Structure 1
């Protein structure tokens, strides 16, 4: 359904989550959550693999707010989530919580938003300032604030809530991906990691090394620092080979993130 309501934004709602928002020359094209383990990846977008939704309820579906509740089985865990969205006069608030239903491994947990590349001309985060070149580099920092700006307006992005638990730390990144400006409020594992993980993704296959092999490979002097989040740091033109840590949560543990995006005056 599409609703033009009393706010400045036009919003398309899909099963309790904004599918797209528009205001003047600014277009938000994708909203939701993401998470992964070594063998499966969950997103609300079609790219999901190895993850199965076993329960899915939209409790509210616009015009001013939405709420969606899901239960998901993944290769290395099972969890439930509640995603809530609230449209206001100048923007959108998006939040999600995750509760484990079994012992589970996580690469990260993300609340995400995507805006078209022509919505803004520049981004600022953590002292970095850059334009959209399609590099797909993760400009990631342990901060709660970033901005996207251009002739149509300035979008202030604020992480308003972070519940990382004992296993995660909160970061925020902006990525100039081919599909647009990608913004992720993100929980990533912190030391001590439950496991070390080396993976290689390409268009033909996804290769994930077992824990013992990852440990041996990363014990080679100098190799861990070169591979640590290397694909994210290198962008679209690097070999999609990288190492990272994994977090393990016991059943009944809880994490959460909330992000608010507010439109200001044009430059």
Structure 2
């Protein structure tokens, strides 16, 4: 009989298994134009003391909890609160699954095999499914969110390297406060001036073409994309709650 096994340390899932399906680590991510915060990998240009995080464009308080609510269910809840006015491009709950023993993923009524495309299949939906080779169905649901009137919820499904990656993601909504149009490579990142980025964003077709272009097209697309950012006022919070269910 299959049994859900989960190792949770400091409120973060480190590793887990259900039958032949392995997963983890899971965690939280957020970023502005110069800083990147993650609970599962290497942060960039960010410092923290306890749950207080200092980024280049804001100071934040992070509250993140993972718990097993019943024999087949894991629940994650996170709140990010602005300690002063600050900019963000996103806030994310990140779930990672080994690709072995998972045949396909489903999102927005479409089914995908794992081809290492590294495409971010991003949709304003509430549920993503992973279909195991033995018939197991893993369901990830966005249960609750609060975007403080400045961010909207999305889920994405991504097939990258040896993993399936699912993000529950809050992204800026119009009218956006800033647009970051940049080209990145292994050596450096080039960014357009704010006025030019906003001009291109507002031109007919500009937003459609450049909005998260690299993410949408995948691994073989140049690292060129426009990323909007919105400001949160001091005391405002973002909330995400996600449930992962196994049969």
TM-score bracket, normalised by the shorter chain, equals over 0.9
Distance 1:261-1:119 versus aligned 2 partners, 3 A rule: farther
Q: Residue 156 of structure 1 is aligned with which of 139, 163, 167?
A: 139
State the match for 1:23 in structure 2: 18
Native 8 Å contact 1:137 1:175 kept in 2:
yes
Report deviation, 1:179: 4.0
Structure 2 residue matching 1:214: 3-state secondary structure: helix
Sort the Cα spacing of 1:259 and 1:119 in 2 relative to 1 into closer, same or farther, 3 A: farther
* 1:215 is the counterpart of 2:177: no
Q: Structure 1 length as normaliser, TM-score?
A: 0.86
Q: State the superposition RMSD in angstroms.
A: 1.6
SS at match of 2:214: helix
Contact 1:147 1:157 in 2 (8 A): yes
Question: Any conservation in 1 of the 2:8–2:66 contact (CA below 8 Å)?
Answer: no
Q: 1:24-43 counterparts in 2 under 5 A?
A: 24-43=19-38
Q: Shift of the alpha carbon at 1:218?
A: 3.7
For 2:106, the equivalent position in structure 1 comes to: 124
Q: Secondary structure at the match of 2:102?
A: coil
Q: Kindly indicate whether residue 29 of structure 2 is the aligned counterpart of residue 71 of structure 1.
A: no
Q: In 1, Cα distance between the equivalents of 2:240 and 2:171? A: 12
* 2-structure distance, mates of 1:91, 1:42: 26
Aligned mate of 2:214, from 225, 228, 231: 231
The answer to whether the 8 Å contact 1:197/1:209 transfers is yes
Residue in structure 2 matched with residue 8 of structure 1 by the alignment: 3
Structure 2 unpaired stretches of 5+? none
- Residue from 174, 189, 194 that aligns with 2:157: 174
Alignment partners' CA distance in 2, 1:166 and 1:219: 22
2:119 paired residue number: 137
SS at match of 1:193: coil
Q: Where in structure 1 are there 5+ consecutive unaligned residues?
A: 1-6, 57-69
Alignment-derived partner of residue 61 in structure 1: none
- Taking the TM superposition and a 5 Å limit, the aligned residue runs for 1:99-118 are 99-118=81-100
Contact 1:84 1:94 in 2 (8 A): yes
Contact 1:38 1:208 in 2 (8 A): no
Partner of residue 90, structure 1: 72
Contact 1:107–1:247 (8 Å) recurs in 2: yes
In structure 1, the residue matched to 2:61 is 80
Preserved CA contact (<8 Å) 2:21 2:132: no
Aligned to 2:223: 240
| Bigger Cα displacement from structure 2, 76-85 vs 16-25 | 16-25
CA deviations on 1:197-219 (whole Å, 9 max, x unpaired) are 11222222233334223224445
Distance in 1 of aligned mates of 2:188 and 2:145: 34
Q: Deviations over 1:10-67 (max 9, x none)?
A: 222333211111122111122111111011111112331011112x2xxxxxxxxxxx
Once residues 160 and 46 of structure 1 are traced to their aligned partners in structure 2, the CA distance between those partners, rounded to angstroms, is 25
**Aligned length in residues:** 244
